[in-house]
């Protein structure tokens, strides 16, 4: 599936992912604990940031 997003929408998503990563309860309890959601959020944030730079 492809979704066309405006640049401001991508910036909003990146900001939301950063907020999510900053409030992860798993990492708050144990910073080096594995968290699949955080790993997926980081990967998506990286892809979206790449789109913003393009």
pLDDT per residue as tens digits for the range 5-28 = 999 999 999 999 999 999 999 888
Say if residue 2 is exposed, middle or buried (CB neighbours under 10 Å; 0-12, 13-18, 19+).
exposed
**The whole model's pTM is what?**
0.82
> Left, alpha or beta for 33 (phi > 0: left; psi -120 to 50: alpha)?
beta
Residue 29 falls inside a structural domain: no
Mean pLDDT across the stretch 24-37? 89
**Cβ contacts of 5 within 8 Å, gap of 6 or more:** 13
What is the domain count for the chain?
A: 1
In a domain, 21, yes or no: no
Whether 49 maps to a domain, the answer reads yes
The gap from C-alpha 29 to its chain's centroid, in whole angstroms, comes to 20
How large is the greatest C-alpha to C-alpha distance in the chain, in angstroms? 37
How confident is the model at residue 38, as a pLDDT?
93
Residue 41 lies in a domain: yes
């Amino acid at each position: 599936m492809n979704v066309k997003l405006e640049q401001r929408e991508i910036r909003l998503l990146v900001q939301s992912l950063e907020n999510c990563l900053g409030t992860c309860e798993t990492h708050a309890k144990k910073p080096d604990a594995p968290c699949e959601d955080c790993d997926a959020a980081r990967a998506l944030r990286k892809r979206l940031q790449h789109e913003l730079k393009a």
